[in-house]
Amino acid sequence: MSQLSDLLDPGAILLDAPAEDWREAIRLSGDLLVSTGAIGPSYTDAMIRTVEEHGPYIVITPGFALAHSRPDDSVRRTAMSFVRLAEPLSFGHTSNDPVTLVMALAAADSSAHQAALAALAGVLADTDSRSALDSAASAQEVLAVLGAGDAPAGSPEDAADGAGSDTAEPVAADAGGPDAAPTGAAHPVPAAASAEPTDPDTVPSKKLILTVCGNGLGTSLFLKNTAEQVLDRWGWSSYLDIEATDTISAKGKAKDADVILTSGAIAETLGEVGVPVEIIENFTSQAEIDSVLRRIYAI
């Protein structure tokens, strides 16, 4: 899979750009991809329509938006662009506005960019790296910060992509789990986790968590990566699978999942699906996802 530095051309980086509103900010990010030959102009229009249809779910962490749409014939190769706005803009997100950084993702398929998004999540979650992006004076400085997030082969991010399997033991919904304040060490799932629950108010886990966005290729992968890091820390990665998907597919798959993790805007689109739908505000926050999953799995 492509690394973050492989997908971002120096010519697709624009610093301190003026924009009147979120539509113009997304258009700036798309124009950069057009200028480098990665996409045709229609893909930029599709990124804007996605927000118009699904709301500001692309604002996945404070001050940062990941613009994207479904792959189509206008996407010539998988690529990303980077725009730092001259002035912060409101995208309509209740907790992550205003936005100062906008990156656009054009994905030619569903897998080539997964490692890049994992690296990007790590950069945005690191306070020093995020500050460096806010103050970078050149495209090369931006690339240096983002390049630091590229994970080598065999890294935890690569391992996380394979978390969960068809042969994993089921985890009961009331299974014991990690300590109240995890320190980063693995916490093995107790042997009782593979047995039928003794509490009549609990049910066996279906071993599946869904992360959902409008297209299933961008922000849902971002959220999947962070959730996998939480399970890795618990030592639960072989017991639960996490699947990134789009809103339409999620409605059909919900019956097979324990919980759906998504944004507030996408939760409104999904409506009632028969399983808990948990809103995550900051897609890079392991602490927020940790808290939600502890509640869901009663640990």
Would you name the residues annotated as active-site residues?
68
Question: Which 8-state DSSP code applies to residue 197?
Answer: P
Tokens of 86: 């001259």
34-64 b/e (C-beta count within 10 Å ≥ 16 → b): bebebbbeebbebbbebbeebbbbbbbbbbb
Burial class (CB in 10 A: 0-12, 13-18, 19+), 82: buried
Residue of 175, 173, 254, 156 lying closest to 211 (CA atoms): 254
Sign of the dihedral through C-alpha 251, 72, 43, 149: positive
Going by their DSSP bridges, the two strands 259-262 and 277-279 should be labelled as: parallel
Residue of 160, 161, 146, 60 lying closest to 110 (CA atoms): 161
Largest CA distance in the chain: 61
